Amino acid sequence: MEYVVGMAAEREKPLILLGLGGVGRALLSQIVEQRSLHREKYGLRIDFLALCDSSGAVSAPKGGFTDEMLYGILQHKEEGGGLVSHPLGQAYRSPEAVVKELGGPGTVVVDCTASDETAGALLLALERGYQVVLANKKPLTVVQDVYDGISRSAGDARWETTVGAGLPVIATLNRMVSSGDEIERIAGSFSGTLGYLMTGLEEGRSYSETVAEAYRLGYTEPDPRDDLGGVDVARKALILARRIGWRMEMDQVEISGLYPERMAGLSVDGFLAELPSLDEEYGAQVASAAAEGKVLRYAATLSEGACSVGPTAVAKDSPLGRLSGTDNLVELYSRWYNPNPLVIQGRGAGVEATAAGVLSDIVELHFSRGSR
């Protein structure tokens, strides 16, 4: 969706940013870099009320942040400093306290954390008539009631990047649901890291070799088990299920991880050293799939009342079967898209792509209230 307003006078969009990790820093940088575009094309200026990380917060001084100040905060973070140690930084009681004390009319609260403690701040923001944007999956995947509280204010909330980073997965699903199309099932590969692993296995490389290579290339989290356990994929699947209206809790998602429980307590180095012990098992799974003319993918499958994630043998000539590398892919089967699904495929990870998706959500929310 595009909104063009020419050289209209700027309208300010006040923003509270929770989280200055990779995505949060990329978002801050993109907002500053796109000042001219937002002014000339949308008549919009995004101004920060506060920036928060897990250590503390920096609130805007009188007159607001200059872009030079924002770049200074970025540099402080990239050098490893917490906001509490920044010259303008201070400790804070909670994200809710920041929203309560600093929020005001038109505020958007953006959650770029990986925390399970931001749901209260988001719900408070919505109760006060503010808007929220989430890159963080956790508030949407705790108990159903919290999801309901956020989604009930869908006109003031966006969470496009929680599934597929910058891919329009949620937006497409929204359009299908709002049109009355009936979603029958969803299948997909929601992890670039696990997609890379499955491609390596298909090409004949061992499990241990492929995981070690992904770790070396920085495709995995610092602890590869955070990817291999499948929980992140399960959260994405649950978000899609709930958006359709299939009421479900996280403990109802069947998760098949890619390492045994006996390796859960090892150090990262110890875990990597034990990987060769799994080569035979996953080699056998690949061979079994190939004997049936299929390939192995780490897939999520959803239908009403059922959701599972794990290694799955799929037809080699299917969209999932043809997928390779780190791309994400979602197949949406519905009343209108059947037997051939609507397929969304592309880069589904990366801090820059995710931050760009968050920024798009912010701009879209600004115009959703007729702020032209």
Residues forming beta bridges with residue 255, ordered by sequence position: 309
Q: Which residue has the tokens 């038109």?
A: 106
Q: Over range 230-248, report the average pLDDT.
A: 97
The pLDDT, as a whole number, for residue 372 is: 38
Q: Is 340 exposed, middle or buried (0-12, 13-18, 19+ CB in 10 A)?
A: exposed
> At 348, is the pLDDT very low, low, confident or very high (cuts 50, 70, 90)?
confident
> At 370, is the pLDDT very low, low, confident or very high (cuts 50, 70, 90)?
low
CA distances 203 to 85, 215, 234, 276, 286, Å, are 48, 18, 26, 17, 10
pTM of the predicted structure, to 2 decimals: 0.92
Q: What is the dihedral of CA 79, 80, 81, 83, to 10 degrees?
A: 110
Q: Over range 215-223, report the average pLDDT.
A: 90
127 in helix, strand or coil?
A: helix
Output the average pLDDT for the chain: 94
Would the annotation count 113 as a binding residue?
A: yes
Cα separation, 172 vs 11, in Å, equals 29
Homologous superfamily (CATH) for 175-347: Dihydrodipicolinate Reductase; domain 2 (3.30.360.10)
The pLDDT, as a whole number, for residue 318 is: 92
Determine which one of 13, 77, 138, 236 is catalytic. Answer: 236
Q: Over range 118-138, report the average pLDDT.
A: 97
Would the annotation count 21 as a binding residue?
A: yes
Cα separation, 356 vs 27, in Å, equals 7
Q: What is the dihedral of CA 297, 199, 350, 140, to 10 degrees?
A: 10
> At 7, is the pLDDT very low, low, confident or very high (cuts 50, 70, 90)?
very low
Would the annotation count 80 as a binding residue?
A: no
Give the sign of the dihedral formed by CA 45, CA 58, CA 120, CA 110: positive
φ/ψ of 97, rounded to 5, equals -65, -40
294 tagged catalytic: no
The third-level CATH classification (topology) of the domain covering 11-165+352-368 is Rossmann fold (3.40.50)
Residue 345 pLDDT exceeds 90: yes
Q: Which of 1-10, 64-73, 102-111, 141-150 has the lowest mean pLDDT?
A: 1-10
Would the annotation count 2 as a binding residue?
A: no
> At 9, is the pLDDT very low, low, confident or very high (cuts 50, 70, 90)?
low
Q: Which amino acid is at 201?
A: L
Would the annotation count 221 as a binding residue?
A: yes
Residue 277 pLDDT exceeds 60: yes
The pLDDT, as a whole number, for residue 93 is: 85
> At 82, is the pLDDT very low, low, confident or very high (cuts 50, 70, 90)?
very high
Residue 5 pLDDT exceeds 90: no
> pLDDT tens digits, residue range 155-204?
899 999 999 988 999 999 999 999 999 999 999 999 999 999 999 999 99
The pLDDT, as a whole number, for residue 371 is: 47
Cα separation, 142 vs 119, in Å, equals 9
Sheet containing strand 157-158, edge to edge, reads: 89-90, 57-59, 44-52, 11-18, 108-111, 131-134, 157-158
Q: Over range 214-223, report the average pLDDT.
A: 90
The pLDDT, as a whole number, for residue 263 is: 97
Write down the domain spans for the chain: 11-165+352-368, 175-347
Cis upstream peptide for 339 (omega within 30°) = yes
